[in-house]
Amino acid sequence: MAEKVALLVFSGTTDRLLPAGIIASGAAAMGMDVEMFFTFWGLNASRKENLGSSSFSGDYDHRELERRLSGYPQWHQLIREAKRAGNVKVHACAMTFDMMGMKMEDLADFFDDVIGVGEFLERAKDANITLFI
């Protein structure tokens, strides 16, 4: 059985979504299984209409950060690449999905399904690495 990484993606800011994409693609390239669970602001940032926008947390110089990130893949591109590279499953949190009045067609094309927290925990319980981002 392959090693597994479980990522709970809560934040919707670029400076946190980008590491989630980097970790997912790195783990997939290493042959690890990846389970990603997007909830609250992470799920909201995954709406098709929000994919091109960026926001940052903290006291950064946002223009400088955007300048430094230009030329690098965006977080959602990294998740697509991770899915092509390996066994990466991307789930939307059912509660957040319902609370925000979402439909599957609202979300980025990399989502596999909408599941409840219980199902995610079942999938993540044997993970070697679990991260809350």
* pTM exceeding the 0.85 threshold for the entire prediction: yes
In a domain, 58, yes or no: no
What is the extent of the structural domain holding 88?
4-49+63-132
Classify residue 31: in a domain, yes or no.
yes
Q: Give the mean model confidence (pLDDT) for residues 105-130.
A: 98
DSSP bridge pairs for 130: 6
Stretch 12-39: mean pLDDT, rounded?
97
Q: Give the separation between CA 113 and CA 120, rounded to whole angstroms.
A: 11
Cβ(57)–Cβ(13) under 8 Å?
A: yes
* Cβ-Cβ contacts under 8 Å for 79 (sequence gap 6 or more): 20, 21, 24, 25, 36, 88, 90, 108, 110
At residue 48, the 3 state secondary structure works out as helix
Q: Is residue 128 part of a domain?
A: yes
Any domain includes 32: yes
* % of the chain exceeding 90 in pLDDT: 81
The domain total for the chain is 1
Structural domain contains residue 54: no
* pLDDT, tens only, 43-52: 999 999 999 8
Q: Does 55 map to a domain?
A: no
- Domain of 114: which CATH number? 3.40.1260.10
- Tell me what pLDDT residue 6 has: 98
Look at the chain and count its residues.
133
Share of the chain above pLDDT 70, in %: 98
